């Protein structure tokens, strides 16, 4: 039996590692279900979900040239598809949705331009730095420090 990408097969768990589970497929070939493909939620310990000897339905994700077969348990489960973006109740494009009470008016009314903000930042930074230098030099008796 040839194994094709996308096909769903029944298999038996033959081994468990910390990174996934080996599943024997019909025809005697073995594939790996990576730990991230076991369940929809986060799987910390694969032993909480699978045991050696379990019968599982798997979907073939890939078949490498060297014979390695990638499998998924979570993608083998049929579930209804999520609604497309156009079917959402809020159908505005993301860039046009209001963000936390703001409107698009904030883009047009700029109180300060970049240069003004940068000049203010540099002045504040220089003031803090000179104040810091004054305080540390007077404490350690550095050169030029005032003694009182």
State the Cα angle at 91 between 86 and 93, rounded to 5°. Answer: 100
Q: How many domains does the chain have?
A: 2
- Rounded to 5 degrees, what are φ and ψ at 140? -100, 0
**Tens-of-pLDDT digits for all 148 residues of the chain?**
578 899 999 999 999 999 999 999 998 899 999 999 999 899 899 999 999 999 999 999 999 999 899 999 999 887 666 555 555 555 556 566 666 655 555 555 556 788 888 899 999 999 988 888 888 776 666 565 555 5
Query: Considering the domain boundaries, does residue 101 fall inside one?
Result: no
Q: How many CB atoms lie under 10 A from the CB of residue 28?
A: 7
Query: Considering the domain boundaries, does residue 98 fall inside one?
Result: no
Where helices occur in 1-148 by DSSP H, the ranges are 114-140
Handedness of CA 12, 16, 21, 24 (dihedral sign): negative
Query: Considering the domain boundaries, does residue 106 fall inside one?
Result: no
Rounded distance between C-alpha atoms, residue 113 and residue 121, angstroms:
13
Query: Considering the domain boundaries, does residue 53 fall inside one?
Result: yes
Q: What is the CATH number of the domain that holds 35?
A: 2.40.50.140
Query: Considering the domain boundaries, does residue 93 fall inside one?
Result: no
Domain of residue 57: give its range: 8-72
Instruction: Match 């060297």 to its residue by tokens.
Output: 66
Domain match, 67 and 116 both: no
pTM of the shown model: 0.53
In terms of Cα–Cα distance, which of 102, 9, 11 is closest to 50?
A: 11
Query: Considering the domain boundaries, does residue 100 fall inside one?
Result: no
């Amino acid at each position: 039996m040839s194994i094709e990408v996308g096909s769903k097969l029944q298999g038996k768990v033959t081994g468990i590692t910390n990174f996934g589970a080996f599943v024997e497929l019909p025809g005697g070939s073995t594939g790996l279900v990576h730990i991230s493909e076991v369940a929809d939620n986060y799987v910390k310990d694969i032993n909480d979900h699978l045991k050696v000897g379990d019968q599982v339905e798997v979907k073939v994700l890939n078949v490498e040239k060297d014979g390695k077969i990638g499998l998924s348990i979570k993608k083998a489960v049929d579930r209804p598809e999520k609604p497309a973006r156009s079917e959402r109740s809020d159908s505005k494009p993301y860039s046009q949705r209001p963000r936390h009470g703001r409107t698009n008016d904030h883009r047009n009314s700029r109180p300060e331009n970049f240069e003004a903000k940068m000049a203010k930042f540099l002045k504040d930074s220089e003031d803090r730095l000179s104040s810091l230098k004054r305080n540390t030099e007077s404490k350690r008796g550095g050169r030029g420090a005032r003694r009182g």
